[in-house]
Every structure is written in structure tokens, then in C-alpha cells.
Structure 1
Amino acid sequence: MSGVLLLVLLLPPLGASVPSPSRPPLRYCRRCCDHLDPPESASSPRPGGLYVSPEVRTFINMTILKGDKGDRGERGTLGKPGPEGPQGSLGPVGPKGSKGQAGAPGDPCKTQHSSFSVGRRKALHSEDYYQAMIFDTVFVNLGEHFSMFKGKFYCYVPGVYFFNVNIHTWNFKETYLHLMHNEHEQVILYAQPSDRSIMQSQSVMLTLELNDEVWVRLYKRERENAIYSDDVDIYITFNGYLVAPSV
């Protein structure tokens, strides 16, 4: 009887609740730099921009969320110009420009002139296929338009010009000349080899532009090309003059 009474005293009352086993404390995800204490409420922010979701108790780092691109700001004020840099090296020569427009009409009361007459005292034997004839005597060279060094007339007054060349052939030798306008043959002076030397002449009128060139060129073919002259008399002459200037 005493054993039954002891068992009844040890049993808990039927309405009493049985204590549940202890649970481990709730742990929160946090960065090492976050505050150690848990947040007071689910919606309160944590240091560093972290928030706790009440459903899943997860921290969200708001600093890694990228927003929309903002509007472009206003242009700032222009800064001060910097110091002037060193001068660069000279660039390559550019292509030749197009021909310019004609200039204004000149003074109608001022007459324009251009003329020359030159000669050669020395005989000439061609040394190459193309050879410019050089002169050593000046009769007329108005304005120095004829270059004695190059044997060329340079046009400084555009217009119509008359040119004439006179030579004396050499016995038994060929004579072959071109009257040149820039790099183009205009007229030819030719004499076949003969036992008699003779005087030969050729003339032409040309329209020249500013800086055009007119000169005499020897042309050597299979046979020797030669022109006769001596130190006493002048057998070779080259002449030209302006007939009418361009309007």
C-alpha cells in the first residue's frame, strides 16, 4: 500500500504540461563588421545598410543594389588654356593647287612689253639624245625674261608671242632641233647631211600663260647632230617678243 502511494505522489497531475526540451538560440547571418547584437525588430536597419526580412530572417546588403542611371549633369565651366606647346616639324610638301582666277585688269594706260634676242658664237655637237641649247650673247633681254643660264624664256606677261630660231648647218652632219613650249615639241628645224652648209630658219606664234617656258632642244638620233658657228661671226640666234597681251 505504501508503494502505491509513493508512485501516485511521483506522477505529475494529468492537467499539467510537460516542459519542452530546450532549443538552441536563434542565430542571425551577419558580416564580421556588423554589430554583434541581433536587431530589435525585423524592419529596423542594421549598420552598413543591412535589413532583416521578418519571414526568413535574412540580412540584405543594400549597398550592392545598383540603381538606375541618373541624368547627365550640366557642362562645367571651361578651364584655363594650357601653355603653348613646342613647334612641330615641317610636314611633307602638299600637292600642287588648282589654277587661280584671273586677276583684275591692268592699267589701260600702261603698255606691257616682253621681248628678247640672243645668239651663240660657239659651234654645238649633241652629247645626249635631248639637249637644251645654251646661248652666250645677248642682243635684247627686256625685263630679264630670258634666262641665259638655262637657255629658256619665261613668260611674265601672258599673251600671244612670236618666236624665231636661226642656225647654220654643218657639212656632212645632220641638224635636228625642236622649238619647245614647256615640255612639248611645237615645231621642228631639220636639215639632212650635205656637202654644203646652209642657213636654216623656223618661226611660230604661241599663246603663253604665266610662267610658261619656251626653249630650243637638240635631238640626237642615229647620226651626229651638229650646228656650225665660230668665234668671229654669230650664226645662231633665238628671238621672241609679245604680240598681244591677254585681255
Structure 2
Amino acid sequence: MGGYYGMAVLVGVALLLKTGQCDAGCRGRDGQPGALGAPGRDGYPGAKGEKGEPAMMNDGPVDADVLRRLKGEPGSRGPSGEPGPKGFRGHLGRAGIAGGRGLPGPEGKSISQSGQHLPQQGRSAFSVIRNNIRYPPFNQVVTFQTAVVNTLQDFNLASGYFVCRVPGVYYFTFNSAAKVSMCLRIASDALTDKLGFCDYNRNSDQVLSGGVVLSLTAGQKVWLESFLDLQKDSETRDTREKLITFNGFLLF
């Protein structure tokens, strides 16, 4: 029985070897690649490494406090940036509490003609009158006969000059009434140009007026002048009454 079984095995092996032989033309197809396997799980984190050695200097280890105090050289300043847009105006805040009333100031003083201080500061004023049949000479200072007001004697009737003694802002004005043409101008060393005014005869009384506000310092002068414009020679020889008033006073 055992011998028969062995013989059968040999016959089978022989047949297998015979049928397994094949030439190059009977090659089989390549197999398909297998699918990727699923990724494996992350490994466990490793153990923490040992602390490194401290820095060393030529003369020993570095002090941590010294390192914190060390500062490098400053760099060069960078260019200025573009200015930003203007911001919106903020809301007006609430009014603050009113302050207390201040103490009264000292009493003012003015200077009289004699140079003494008087308790009437800012009361410099004058009003003078010229009533004459003679036509005022051209390019000369107009003089006056009567002073209605001359508080500090700042106006000199004989010379026709007002001399400022109390510096400040003054108002000057003049008026004239005549039956002939008249040209008058306000002049002052506080003015670059003189201010001229004219009125011409139209067979009736001529009324002329002019005025100016001037800021004067002590010693500056103001006066009135007559000047030639379009007047006729016959008008300058007129002997009828001619009235001129000149006024001035300190505003502040």
C-alpha cells in the first residue's frame, strides 16, 4: 500500500513537470499594485533633553542680570513718515466755572503841559475856531483865534499844531463854511500822505468837512493846511467871512 502511494506521487510530479514547461510566448500578465495601507499611529513624545551649558566669557560665565542690562548701539534715525489726515473737530466741552472778580486797577494818570501827572488820563481834547475874511495861505499851517476846548493845552493857537502828550488813538475832524471854493487837508508826521478835501463854489455857501483816526505817540503833531487845486485867483482874493473849525480828542 505504501509503495503504491509513493508511485502515484512520482507519476503526479512527473505530469506536473511536463505540463509546467512553457516557451517564452505563453507569459502571463503582470499583477495590479496593491492599495496603500492606512497610516500608522503617532509615536509617543520623546523624553525632554538635558539643559544646555551656560554661555561663557573670557573671564568666566555670563551673569544673567548683566545680559539684561546690555544695550546695543542706537541705529540711525529713520525718515519721517507722511503726516496723517487731519482729525475731526471734537465736541465743545461744557463751560467751566466762572472765575472770581479781579481786583480794581490803579487810578490812571495823564501828563499836563508842565509835565506833572494829573488824575485825568485820556481826557485830551480840543476844538478851535478860525473866523477870518482872509483866505488861508496855500501850503501853510492854518492858525486859529479861539479855543472852545483845550483840556491839556495840547493845541497851540498861534502855531496851529496839536502836539500829542498822551499816546493813544485820536479822532480829528474839521469843518469850513465859505462863499468860495475851499481846499483843506489834514497833515501829521504820523501820516505818510496828507489827506486833502475840496469843495467848489456853485453860487452858494460851500460847506467842507473831513476827518481821520490816527494812532499817535508822544511828541507827534497834527495840523490843518490849505492847498491849491482848482480855485480861481479871484476866490483867493475874496474878503467875505470864512469859518473853519478844527477838532480832536483821544478815543482810547
Q: TM-score, normalised by structure 2?
A: 0.47
User: Which structure has more strand as a fraction of its residues?
Assistant: 1
Q: TM-score, normalised by structure 1?
A: 0.48
User: Which structure has more helix as a fraction of its residues?
Assistant: 2
